[in-house]
């Protein structure tokens, strides 16, 4: 088994976080030559090239594995130091986590607010689509993730949190303009009937270019009708913020999928109409975290489980 000295791992992680060998040398109070020597020794131990000497420096695929190890080792050392009362000036530990925008808006901040103050941590939140968030776990950038991926990333453990239910909705004025003849439910809570072709032609609100939920919903509508789905056709707006995304739909810019817990009151008072009330869109969510023993991650994981259960449906 290869041996990776802690000083080499620290140097490698510092180069990647700072972007250059010179910047890492200044932070570590060593010479750039010493940084280069440590990196060379680390790559010899790994038998692989670990670092792309670009500006900024980037990890290779093998380097991502070693970076994850480096950050996990740093986490273990920090946890041990805190338990032994050797945490220096008592500065809080930064915990990087990636979470999707809807979870962040609906329930995840509630979970962070319930983490005991005595844990003495701060949170470095990364926002990414739940279909793509595991890449940050794989690279070692974050310690934990809310993700739609049930397969554990290497070195991580995974558990189901539940299902985020979405509803396809639009403002009454949008329904009247785009779906003439289908507004029999105007003044109620939903449109009486909707078909895939009509949805595909209408203006859609997407969160960003990674957001495939609206298109998946259209495809499901075509499958229900026994027809193959065509290419995406209608114009689309991109609104990359959870609250603003919902507001864009409420203002009639387009139709889209909003978490049930967010749009329920608007459906009840008629500000939004459901386009397919019998066909909710369910997204299973999972919690992935480093497998390493860590009191900080244990406490955070417990809080995430407890709070998510209040907002997500059982899977």
Phi, psi dihedral angles at 173 (to 5 degrees): -65, -30
Cβ proximity of 137 and 99 under 8 Å: no
Is 185 a residue whose pLDDT tops 80? no
Is 111 a residue whose pLDDT tops 90? yes
Task: Please state at what angle helix 32-46 crosses helix 61-83, rounded to 10 degrees.
Answer: 110
At residue 190, the pLDDT reads: 55
Q: Name the pTM for this structure.
A: 0.80
Q: Which one is predicted more confidently, 187 or 66? A: 66
Owner of token pair 């999707």: 100
At residue 186, the pLDDT reads: 46
- CATH number for the region 1-86 comes to 1.10.10.10
Is 187 a residue whose pLDDT tops 50? no
Class of 165-283 per CATH?
Answer: alpha beta
At residue 305, the pLDDT reads: 97
Is 131 a residue whose pLDDT tops 80? no
Average confidence score pLDDT of the chain: 88
Is 47 a residue whose pLDDT tops 80? yes
Is 192 a residue whose pLDDT tops 60? no
Cβ proximity of 62 and 49 under 8 Å: yes
Q: Which one is predicted more confidently, 281 or 132? A: 281
At residue 183, the pLDDT reads: 52
Is 15 a residue whose pLDDT tops 90? yes
Determine the Cα–Cα distance for residues 291 and 159; give it in Å rounded to an integer: 12
Helices (H) and strands (E) in the chain, counts: 13, 11
Domain spans in the chain, listed from the N-terminal domain onward = 1-86, 165-283
CA atoms in the 13 A half-sphere facing the CB of 140: 25
Q: Which one is predicted more confidently, 314 or 248? A: 248
Is 298 a residue whose pLDDT tops 80? yes
Q: How many CB atoms lie within 10 A of CB 251?
A: 12
Q: How many CB atoms lie within 10 A of CB 86?
A: 10
Q: Mean pLDDT lowest for which of 95-99, 262-266, 272-276, 291-295?
A: 291-295
39: exposed, middle or buried (C-beta count within 10 Å: 0-12, 13-18, 19+)?
A: buried
Averaged pLDDT for residues 6-25: 92
At residue 189, the pLDDT reads: 57
188: exposed, middle or buried (C-beta count within 10 Å: 0-12, 13-18, 19+)?
A: middle
Is 193 a residue whose pLDDT tops 80? no
């Amino acid at each position: 088994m290869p041996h990776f000295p802690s000083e080499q791992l620290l140097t490698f992680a510092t180069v990647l976080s700072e972007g250059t060998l010179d910047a890492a040398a200044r932070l570590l109070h060593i010479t750039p030559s010493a940084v280069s020597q440590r990196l060379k020794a680390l790559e010899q131990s790994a038998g692989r090239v670990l670092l792309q000497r670009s500006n900024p420096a980037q990890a290779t695929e093998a380097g991502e594995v070693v970076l994850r190890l480096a950050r996990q080792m740093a986490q273990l050392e920090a946890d041990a130091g805190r338990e032994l009362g050797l945490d220096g000036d008592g500065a809080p530990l930064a915990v990087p986590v990636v979470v999707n925008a809807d979870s962040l808006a609906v329930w995840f901040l509630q979970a962070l607010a319930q983490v005991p103050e005595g844990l003495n941590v701060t949170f470095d939140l990364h926002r990414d689509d739940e279909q793509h968030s595991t890449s940050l776990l794989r690279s070692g950038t974050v310690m934990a993730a809310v993700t739609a991926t049930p397969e554990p990333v290497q070195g991580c453990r995974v558990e189901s949190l539940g299902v985020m239910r979405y509803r396809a909705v639009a403002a009454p004025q949008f329904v009247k303009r785009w779906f003439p003849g289908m507004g029999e439910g105007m003044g109620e809570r939903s449109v009486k009937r909707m078909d895939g072709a009509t949805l595909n032609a209408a203006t859609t609100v997407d969160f960003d270019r990674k957001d495939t939920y609206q298109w998946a919903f259209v495809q499901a509508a075509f499958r229900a009708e026994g027809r193959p789905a065509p290419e995406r056709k209608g114009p689309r707006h991109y609104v990359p913020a959870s609250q603003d995304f919902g507001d864009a739909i409420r203002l009639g810019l387009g139709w889209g999928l909003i978490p049930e817990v967010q749009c329920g009151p608007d459906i009840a008072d008629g500000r939004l109409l459901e386009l397919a009330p019998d066909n909710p869109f369910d997204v299973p969510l999972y919690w992935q975290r480093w497998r390493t023993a860590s009191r900080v991650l244990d406490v955070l994981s417990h809080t995430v489980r407890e709070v998510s259960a209040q907002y997500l449906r059982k899977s």
